[in-house]
Amino acid sequence: MPPKAGKGKDAKGKDAKGKLGKTAKIDPTKKAGKTKAKKKSWTKVKVKDKLNNDVFFDEKRWAKVQTEIPKILCITRGALCDKYKVNGSMARAMIKNLAAAGTIKRVGDHCSSFDLYTGVQAKSALEKAAEEAAAATKKK
């Protein structure tokens, strides 16, 4: 059976208009009329996994690198790190070695922090489209 409310008041001590009566007790820890918002935490940041890139090449892998890199249009340290899973110093060493051998060539001016190279055998998108169009006309 629900508790009795006396003289037109509900169980919480409020009258019909929603106002607190004299007998209703207010929690002393809460301030009347103000509710404190919960403080927002800004520390929820996604943490990147640590990359375990290689620091050495074996003969088989180096041969693969020497055949594939001259065909790449845009060669940077970051691109080589991502593609071959090696660290930055290995990527710089690869670029130096291949540039000395003449299989890749520098694009633009020299900069110590960013070097852009292109492969000697690399073809731009326009050259590839022209070759595909020529191959399609030969088939017909």
Q: For position 120, which CATH number holds?
A: 1.10.10.10
Does a structural domain hold residue 69? Answer: yes
Exposed/middle/buried for 66, CB within 10 Å: 0-12, 13-18, 19+? middle
Does a structural domain hold residue 36? Answer: no
Does a structural domain hold residue 132? Answer: no
What residue numbers bound the domain in which 80 lies?
59-124
Q: Are 32 and 38 within 8 A, CB to CB?
A: no
pTM metric for this prediction: 0.57
pLDDT tens, N- to C-terminus, the chain (140 residues): 566 555 555 556 556 666 655 555 556 565 555 667 777 777 777 777 777 888 888 899 899 999 999 999 999 999 999 999 999 999 999 999 999 999 999 998 888 888 899 998 888 878 888 888 888 888 87
